[in-house]
A = this chain, B = another copy of it.
Amino acid sequence: METTTSTSAAQIIDKSQLLTHWLGHRKVTRRTLEAFPEKELFEFSIGGMRTFAQLMKEMLSMGAPTAIGLATDKWEALDEEKPELTTKADLLASWDKSTDLIEKYWDQITLEKFQEKIVAFGQYEGTGYSTLFYIIDNEIHHRAQGFVYLRALGITPPNFWEQY
């Protein structure tokens, strides 16, 4: 086997790039939340789906707790109810607080953690990477549903590709 240094070994994506990728998506999601009118955020839905406020609460229950779980091995149970968040301003503030926590805990996540077997939120078996990829994918998925809600309301959503 070829020997090389661990810092220069070829890899798909490094830890810093993955954080940038995640935070880029979070910026688009924040803009999507901002684009909703207050009333429709909590009331509008299509086909019996959840409101965008409810979808945001699910995302809030996953994002920062995943960073903290990967960093500390302490996983909260999923809390998607969050009855204390009753306004768009509440959701935006909670989103920003979550982003701060993700940035704070990111450095404490070891590179090895991404390949370790874990039980996320005390119930989902996977690896570190599969858990984080899942919650990013879940954010993209629910945000896209928000894009359709916005279009149905005659509002132009933010640009998907502007992840900065």
A46-B148, A140-B144, A151-B46 are contacts. A9–B18 as well, Cβ < 8 Å?
Answer: no
Number of copies: 2
Tell me whether A82 is interfacial, beta carbon within 8 Å. no
Given A3-B3, A140-B137, A144-B145, verify A10-B115 contact (CB < 8 Å). Answer: yes
Cβ–Cβ contact B10 & A12, under 8 A = no
Number of interface residues of A (CB under 8 A): 49
A129 to B48, CA, bound (A): 37
Complex interface bits, A51-70 against B, C-beta within 8 A gives 1, otherwise 0: 00000000000000000000
Grouping DSSP codes into helix (H, G, I), strand (E, B) and loop, the A interface class, with mixed when no group exceeds half, is: helix
Q: Is the CB of A115 within 8 A of B11?
A: yes
Q: Is the CB of B46 within 8 A of A111?
A: no
Q: Is the CB of B18 within 8 A of A12?
A: yes
Chain A residues within 8 Å of B, Cβ to Cβ: 1-7, 9-15, 17-18, 21, 25, 46-49, 110-112, 114-115, 129-130, 133-134, 137-138, 140-145, 147-154, 160-161
Please tell me if the beta carbons of B12 and A9 are within 8 angstroms of each other in the complex. Answer: no
Question: Which residues from B are CB-within-8-Å of A137?
Answer: 25, 137, 140
Query: How far is A148 from B144 in the complex, measured between Cα atoms in Å?
Result: 9
Are B13 and A133 in contact, CB atoms less than 8 angstroms apart?
A: yes
